[in-house]
Amino acid sequence: MKHIIANWKMNKTKEEALSFVQKLSFFLETNNYNKCNISIAPPFVHLPVLYNTNNSFNLIAQNVSVENFGAFTGEVSAAMLKDYVKHVIVGHSERRKYFNETNELLYKKIKILLENSLCPVFCFGESIHARNKGDYLDFIERQLEDVIMLFSQNELSNILLAYEPVWAIGSGSSANELQINEVHTFVRDLIEKKYGSMYAEKIPILYGGSCNSDNTSIILRQPNVDGLLIGGASLSNDHFHQIIQLANSLD
Ligand code: 13P
């Protein structure tokens, strides 16, 4: 089963979101895409709206507060999200970069998600600096060790991981298959060393960073890639439907 997640980031008005999901629902209902698990991560305000229109795909939240409740203007808690989603994106490089989210904060966010029976979609990935310097695997190892690997196997039983090299996001060109393979295999081996092979085989590792209909097949054919986290190309019905079609046609 391939996980195909649309991360809309801060895009789409309510009208645009509704129009998109109406077309997507029709597309999914008139075809049999049983090899893909489709999810949309819209802005928070659209979650209740889309929740009431949808049953052919999952909804995911793009963020969660590190606090449970209280005087934190503008924040949305895990308990509030629980009515609409099962998964929440945590650790996206845009949150790390523009909102100064550190590994320490991300650890706390994941703890709160787990306490609320929500599953993290944990994003990690190296900067262009680490890539050019050549120590990107150490960089990635630290991101995983400082956050998700502090939890037990049981706690992480429903987590999804997403490798998103910062330099590929929004750039128009994804990492190539050798680069993707190297990191995904490295991460699966790390998980295996800590939690054992039974668990390591099961944990989905998605790729994100300039995915589109031209590179979907080649990326998803890589042995350790279990899905895609898609930004820009998920905003257009045509592109997103094409990606689903391609993902579903692979063995
Ligand atoms: P793009 O697909 O626009 O590069 O964004 C990827 C991403 O950040 C998904 O979370």
Q: What is the pLDDT of residues 217-251, one digit of tens each?
A: 999 999 999 999 999 999 999 999 999 999 999 97
Q: Helices (DSSP H) in the chain: which residue ranges?
A: 14-30, 47-51, 78-81, 93-98, 103-115, 128-133, 136-145, 177-195, 197-202, 216-220, 237-249
Distance separating alpha carbons of residues 191 and 196, to the nearest angstrom: 7
Percent of the residues in the chain that have a pLDDT greater than 70, as a whole number: 100
Q: Is the CB of 7 under 6 A from ligand 1?
A: yes
CA distance 170 to 174: 9
The two three-digit tokens of residue 151, written as one number:
């939890």
Strand, coil or helix: 173 = coil
Best of 4, 5, 7 to mutate for ligand 1, by most ligand atoms within 8 A of CB? 7
Strand pairing class (58-61; 36-41)? parallel
Measuring CA to CA, how many Å separate 108 from each of 55, 82, 88, 101, 120? 31, 17, 13, 11, 12
> Which of these CATH numbers, 3.30.1240.10, 3.20.20.70, 3.50.30.10, 3.40.50.720, describes 2-249?
3.20.20.70
Residue owning the nearest CA to atom 7 of ligand 1: 231
Sign of CA dihedral 97, 43, 212, 244: positive
Nearest CA to ligand 1 atom 2: 231
End-to-end CA distance of the chain: 10
Mean pLDDT of 192-202: 94
Please give the pLDDT value at position 251: 77
Domain boundary assignment for the chain: 2-249
- Tell me the pLDDT of the chain averaged across its residues: 96
Is the per-residue pLDDT at 54 higher than 80? no
Q: What's the pLDDT tens digit per position in 114-160?
A: 999 999 999 999 999 999 999 999 999 999 999 999 999 999 888 99
What pTM was computed for the model?
0.96
Residue 60 in contact with ligand 1 by CB distance below 6 A: no
Active site residues: 92, 164
In the reported structure, the alpha carbon of residue 196 is separated from the centroid of ligand 1 by a whole-number distance in angstroms of: 30
